[in-house]
Amino acid sequence: MRIPCPYCGERDAHEFSYLGDATLTRPDPAAADAEQAFHDYVYLRDNPAGAHEEWWYHANGCRQWLRVTRDTRTHAISGAAPARKSGEPA
Amino acid sequence: MSATNRNRLSAGGLIDRNQTRGFSFDGTRHRGYAGDTLASALLANGVRLVGRSFKYHRPRGIFSAGAEEPNALVELRTGARREPNTRATVTELYDGLEATSQNRWPSLALDALSLNRFLAPFLGAGFYYKTFMWPAAFWEKVYEPIIRRAAGLGRAALEEDPDHYEKATAFCDVLVIGAGPAGLMAALTAARSGARVILADEDFLPGGGLNAEAGDVDRQPAPAFAAGIAAELASLPNVRVMTRTSVFGVYDGGTYGALERVSDHLAVPAPFQPRQRLWRIVARRAVLAAGATERPIVFGGNDRPGVMLAGAVGTYVQRHAVLPGRNIALFANNDGAWRDMLAAQAAGAHVETIVDVRAEVAPELIAAAQAKGIRVLKGAQVIATHGRTLRSLEVATASGTERIAADTLAVSGGWSPCVHLTCHHGGKPAWNEDIAAFVPGTCPPGLSVAGAAKGILGLGACLRDGAETGAESARALGFTVPAHEVPEVADAAFALTPFWHVEGSKGAAFVDLQNDVTAKDVGIAHKEGFRSVELLKRYTTLGMATDQGRTSNVTGLAIMASLTGASIPETGTTIFRPPYTPVSMGALAGHHRGKDFRPVRLTPTHEWARAQGAVFIETGAWLRAQYFPRAGEKDWLETVTREVTAVRASVGLIDVSTFGKIDLQGRDVGAFLDRVYINGFAALAVGKARYGVMLREDGLVMDDGTTARLSPEHYVMTTTTANAAKVFQHLEFCLQVLWPELDVALSSISEQWAQIAIAGPRARDVLARVADGDVSNAALPFMGAVEGTVMDGVKARLFRLSFSGELGFEIAVPARHGAALAQALMQAGETFGITPYGIEALGVMRIEKGHVSGSELSGQTTAGDLGFGRMASTKKDYIGRTMAARPGLADPDRPAFVGFRPVDLSRRLRAGAHFLNRGAAPETANDQGYMTSVAYSPHLGHWIGLGLITRGPERLGERVRAYDPVRGEEIEVEICAPGFIDPEGVRLRG
Amino acid sequence: MADHSSHDPLAGLRFDRVPPSGTYGADGEPGVTVTIPETPFIALVVARNGFAESVTGRLGRAFGLEVADRTGAAIGAAATVVGTGPGRFLVLSKTEPDLAGTLRALLGSEAAVSEQDDAYVTFDLAGEKTPDLLAKGALIDIDPRVFLPGDAATTVIAHIGVTLWRVDEATWRLLVARSLEASFTRFLIASGAAFGLRLENGTAGRG
């Protein structure tokens, strides 16, 4: 697979490490339902056949965490965006 | 000894008669020419029997002239370079080539196991599953040895491969796979547009079918036309022509795998050249112009040496100037094969008979054949063959059966496009009625197909289609394609009547020659219900092994279809997966074998440690000093005991540069550390370090280490050696994804700083002689961290930390000074008997002290399990806090961290032993936990251990059994507090 | 010196020691020359939140270079600034002994600066065959018609992390982690032997 890194350009997937679903948000630990919310956040995953947003870390490149959109059926990658803008808060 | 080249035509062919190539087959010496393959050279020398078949050990000859060869597999080379199952048809002849036939004993001509032919009724489809069923005990002792001796073809070399292999990556705009008529034209049009082009072909000579073409192209012989285009391509700076290169796989993102056989055509690779090179080719577009493979007709005795694909006969005659036989007959269902024979006849071959299954054949073909004296039998079928190698055929015609003399039978059942690469992303080929063949279906993104590979049969059409496909590919990338001229070649109509199998023919009729699968086997599979194409393959082994059913898949399907009454497309097709042709393990490994398997990281003091006599051990990517044996020490335990004793009594040093070191700067570092460690860091004072434990979000421990605050907004963190990269990645995730608002900048400083730990009661005395500043207890108290200089001005960071339980310091200096620091410490400590120690002694001391390490940080332990429960802050959130509170992780019955000592102090403890309560049966249900780490404690004079046992801290003093079924040991141990030495920490605070 | 009779350029070399200076592989004019230049002073600059643009500008003005916040090497007499990630720059200088101190003074609280002088070994590769050698380990496009002088990449070569840039037509500079010098040199020798490789690292073998 080749991932279009916004900083480095298109690179072989060997340079990256995979984390998983990028649509999840870390729950509020102070919320009343935090325990259930964290359970879902850590363990429950959709398994879509098609477009999927996922985290990839450019370990052997710019060290950015990228939000990559990949079709799970074809491995076609339609985009990759940094988790945060260069040096700026999101 | 055969007369040399007795079957060689006196002129013609693409061989260089001035360059002879001596070779041997089964010990007999022969001669061929440059431009020969092993197969063409064997045929030229009249060698027709080249191997024995896989299951029945039947005599086999050369069947094809290409990668599809099912029969002519030989052992190539000898000794360490011996390579089994090499296809003679694609083995380029070199001087000194040594080949040996396979699967025969005692000799090729007389093979003992050909007896298997008489066992054939028992060796049919599914015989493995039926025969070797029971008794089960027979498997290991009886069945497997028999199968191993009888099955398989060649023998692999037993010595280490003496050659080296490489990997390489190339990028291009257009990759053209196959340098036949379509591929050459595709490459040319794309190249003239300025696109970067790679043209790859598995052959050593570009041209593909053009090299076996008798006619002219562009007013010159077809091979000359091919050579001209190849030369033009090679001269262009934007083109790389790769011969002897098979593109074997299509991967994601336009990545293609290719194998370049750099030196396979030489006896030994040229100096410093690899044997093979594995290419990763990244192409924006690709054109598959892999051509088509001829397929046979299945009939009784169709495996006899002398039966050969019609196109192969043409190739040997035209390209190699070799007559496969003196008296050739053709058995076909299509016009193309007739033309091959007519051309062969014109080139000097003697074609006597044409047998065609069709009742009607184009009159001009019949006229042309008869004009050359060829006898034509229409509506006829070959029903049997005779001879050790082929001598005659039995042909059934409308008027009866007749016997016809022939030493070579050319067979053609039509052509199957080489769609393999189009399937690598899951695309299914589609059935094309016109040519009775599968053609490409949905292709991988960016891949187009041109020429015969897409089902276009006809030279002129292939040239045009190649040019157009190459142009389209370049245009799609934005290149401007100049007008191009395509040579005109008039294509004759291609007529074919589908025909697969001569029913009622005599003798075994082979569908898959390589796996000895007969038409009858397909029938058995059908009868027994294995009708789907995937089951047919597994049950009969049809389509397996080196040729992957190139010449047999479609025929097998067609026979199954006729049995079920379904159509061929309804019956299905086998999906092809990479690799298209075999790829050696050496090429996949490339440079990375032996000690170069993966990069090795060396510490800054590596050479110094070697000079001290260190024994090294791989820990992850690092090579670290394990221990430093001295003359007279009888084993590692004696050495390690000496090292530990020296540290506890006086002072020792060890390189700890392998720890991960992360520099953190920013306003929010304290707040950030609070969120990633379970314990509080916001209040950490400048000049101090603190031990911290990190969890994963699921509540389990990820790593531990110390973090020091060097200035208000500047911290340095250490991680364990093993988790350095993982922790850095985790921290980046927290900062980039979870909390981008935090002002924290991370930098890895692992490589910048060499770090050496000194430990022992004399550590401060040694440090004082090396450090430029004050290192007294007041200036550098326990857990102190300061920046300063050592060795008269070398920048340094000093940490007062201890892993051993002794007074300890860690001194970091820029890496280039690491070895000098070690030497300076040795010199400064000489009067104290300073002792370098390795990671074994380090491990012993941490076990004596009761510190957790890798064995306890197993990814399955919680902070509570490891005794860090009280360290965890309740005043803040941190990664893993919520999940660590889950009932399963907070369960008080969980195995928890304690120490162990043997009740009989003379006994040795074993890591991995499981704990059982006294009287409990050794069953999983009674498992109380396990021993994580053990060591012989020089301090106590007996073995000690650390481990996890249910409610451990509540059970101090209790005796349990340490049960080790792996070693067959069981000993009684007493649970004790972890911390066998100085539990109050007097030493390290001294 | 390599044992030529075996055609293994690594024959007789310890895997855990930096191979010594010498000529490896094919005879004749070496296709690639590898030198380990006198280690320049190196520092890593990481812009703190919100200061990437300002830091980029300051670096450019201070060293008289056109620095942009992108992958690339701005090469000048006083310093070379190589982008390795958004808001991250490796700064190299032959003339600034306290490079990190200078940068801290220049950038104040806008960036985190760390000394990296000892973190890397610098390899200069020159010679016609350099791109062919690099292609045996790199997964990026280093075709000299595509990867131009001033282009840079942080990537992986033979499983080893590398920051590289093309200094000029003939020269490519690579920064490799110090601990991996021996492994990386072995890769260069194994992959460059076919072209003939001259190694000048000023050592008779070190580790």
What's the CATH number where C165 sits? 3.30.1360.120
Report the range of poorest mean pLDDT among B6-20, B120-134, B270-284, B662-676.
B120-134
Task: Give chain A positions within 8 Å (CB) of C84.
Answer: 62
CA–CA gap between residue A86 and residue A63 (Å, rounded): 12
**Do C98 and C139 share a domain, yes or no?**
no
**Helix, strand, coil: what percent of chain C each, to 5?**
25, 35, 45
Residues C82 and C27 in one domain: no
Within 8 A of B282 by CB-CB distance, chain A residues are: 2, 12
Q: Examine the pLDDT at C203 and tell me if it is beyond 90.
A: no
Report the C-alpha gap between B884 and B856 in whole angstroms. Answer: 17
Residue B538, pLDDT > 80, answer yes
Closest by CA to C150, choosing from C103, C83, C63, is: C83
Note whether C45 and C85 are same-domain residues: yes
Is the CB of B252 less than 8 angstroms away from the CB of A65?
Answer: no
Pairing of strands B959-964, C72-75: unpaired
Which of B141-155, B304-318, B975-989 has the weakest average pLDDT?
B141-155
Is the same domain home to C183 and C84? no
Mean pLDDT on B805-817: 97
C71/A8 CB distance under 8 A: yes
Of A26, A63, A74, the CB nearest to B732: A63
Interchain contact, A55 vs B445, CB within 8 Å: no
What's residue B685's pLDDT? 97
**Residue pLDDT, tens place only, B331-385:** 999 999 999 999 999 999 999 999 999 999 999 999 999 999 999 999 999 999 9
Residue pointed to by tokens 């022509």: B241
Residues C72 and C109 grouped into a single domain: yes
Mean of the per-residue pLDDT values of chain B: 94
* Lowest-confidence pick of B377-381, B481-485, B667-671: B481-485
Query: pLDDT tens-digit profile of B18-27?
Result: 999 999 999 9
- Evaluate whether residue C18 is within a structural domain: yes
> Residue C1 — very low, low, confident or very high, per pLDDT cuts 50/70/90?
very low
pLDDT for B1: 39
Structure-token pair, residue B379: 């509506």
Q: For residue range B244-265, what is the model confidence (pLDDT) as tens digits?
A: 999 999 999 999 999 999 999 9
Give the total number of structural domains in chain C. Answer: 2
Output phi, psi for B86, to 5 deg: -85, 130
* Residue B163 pLDDT exceeds 90: yes
pLDDT of B134 over the 70 cut: no
Give me the total of CB pairs closer than 8 Å, taking one residue from chain A and one from chain C.
57
Q: What confidence score (pLDDT) does residue B503 get?
A: 92
- Smallest CA-to-CA distance from B32 within B75, B90, B94, B76 is with B94
- Would C175 be classed as within a structural domain? yes
pTM of the predicted protein model: 0.94
Q: Kindly list the structural domains of chain B, giving each domain's residue range(s) and its CATH number in brackets, ordered by start.
A: 16-131 (3.10.20.440), 166-292+417-476 (3.50.50.60), 306-413 (3.50.50.60), 499-565 (1.10.10), 649-844 (3.30.1360.120), 891-989 (2.40.30.110)
Crossing angle (nearest 10°) for helices B363-371 and B335-346? 20
* B46-55, B319-328, B651-660, B735-744: least confident range: B46-55
- Is the same domain home to C124 and C108? no
Please give the average per-residue pLDDT across B774-786, as a whole number.
96
Same domain, C164 and C182: yes
Residue ending a domain, choose from C87, C115, C143: C115
Neighbours of chain A (3+ CB pairs under 8 A): B, C
The pLDDT of residue A90 is above 60: no
pLDDT of residue B116: 61
Question: How many other β-carbons are positioned within 10 Å of the β-carbon of residue A45?
Answer: 11
Residue B544, pLDDT score: 82
Q: Which domain holds residue C190?
A: 4-37+119-200
The answer to whether the CB atoms of C86 and A7 lie below 8 A apart is: yes
Averaged pLDDT for residues B189-214 = 97
CB atoms A55 and B733 under 8 Å: yes
Average the pLDDT over B655-669 and give the result.
97
B435-475 confidence digits (pLDDT tens): 999 999 999 999 999 999 999 989 999 999 999 999 999 99
More confident: B114 or B108: B108
Q: Please tell me the distance from the alpha carbon of residue B660 to that of residue B679, in angstroms, as a whole number.
A: 20
Q: How far is A32 from chain C (nearest CA, A)?
A: 32
Q: Given a cut of 90, is residue B139 above it in pLDDT?
A: no
Q: How far is C61 from chain B (nearest CA, A)?
A: 23
* Domain C-terminal end among C88, C115, C142: C115
Residue A3: both structure tokens together: 């991932």
Would the CB atoms of A74 and B425 count as touching at under 8 Å?
A: yes
Q: Which two tokens stand for residue B238?
A: 């934007």
Residue B569's Cβ-count burial label (10 Å; 0-12, 13-18, 19+) is middle
Q: Is B106's pLDDT higher than 70?
A: no
What pLDDT does residue B234 have? 97
Where is the domain boundary, C85, C115, C145?
A: C115
Structure tokens at B569: 């497309």
Instruction: Give the ipTM.
Output: 0.97
Chain B residue with minimum CA distance to C194: B272
Cβ proximity of B756 and B825 under 8 Å: yes
How many Å is the Cα radius of gyration of chain C? 18
Residues C53 and C110 in one domain: yes
Asked if A12's CB is within 8 angstroms of C86's CB, the reply is no
Span B222-250, average pLDDT: 97
C23 in any annotated domain: yes
CA distance B255 to B248: 11
Q: Tell me: the pLDDT tens digits for B755-769?
A: 999 999 999 999 999
With CA atoms as reference, the chain B residue closest to C141 would be B171
Domains of chain A: 2-27+38-82 (3.30.2270.10)
| Whether residues C177 and C78 fall in one domain | no
Question: DSSP H helical segments within B372-507, as ranges?
Answer: 459-476
- Within an 8 Å CB–CB cutoff, is residue B787 touching chain C? no
**Shortest CA gap A1–chain B (Å):** 5
Does the residue C139 lie in any domain?
yes
Q: Tell me, letter by letter, the H, E, C secondary structure of B183-210.
A: HHHHHHHHHHCCCCEEEECCCCCCCHHH
> C45 and C103 in one domain?
yes
pLDDT for residue B105: 66
C54 → chain A, closest CA residue: A87
Decide: helix, strand or coil at residue B461: helix
Count of CA atoms in the C-beta half-sphere (13 A) of B586 = 16
Q: What is the pLDDT of residues C102-153, one digit of tens each?
A: 999 999 999 999 999 999 999 999 999 999 999 999 999 999 999 999 999 9
Q: Are residues C29 and C46 in the same domain?
A: no
Q: Tens digits of per-residue pLDDT, C63-99? A: 999 999 999 999 999 999 999 999 999 999 998 889 9
Closest CA to B435 of B294, B580, B311, B532: B294
* Residue B282 touches chain C, beta carbons under 8 Å: yes
Residue C99 lies in a domain: yes
Which of B252, B737, B885 lies at the smallest CB-CB distance from A83?
B737
CATH for C92: 3.30.70.1520
Q: B631 phi and psi, to 5 degrees?
A: -55, 135
pLDDT greater than 90 at residue B148: no
For the record, the structure tokens of B794 come out as: 């070398």
| Residues C106 and C133 placed together within one structural domain of the fold | no
- Written as six digits, the tokens of B412 are 């053609």
Beta-carbon separation of C52 and A88 below 8 A: yes
pLDDT of res. B2:
45
Structure tokens at B953: 């801290």
Kindly list the distances between the CA atom of residue B130 and the CA atoms of B126, B133, B134, B511, B527, in Å, as whole numbers in the listed order: 6, 6, 9, 21, 15
Residue C66 lies in a domain: yes
What are the chain C neighbours of B282 within 8 Å (beta carbons)? 141
The helix (run of H) or strand (run of E) holding residue B942 is strand B942-950
**Is C151 part of a structural domain of the chain?**
yes
Q: Which of C155, C154, C150, C145 is nearest to C167 (CA)?
A: C150
pLDDT digits (tens, 9 = 90+) for B958-974: 999 999 999 999 999 99
Count CB neighbours of B505 within 10 A: 22
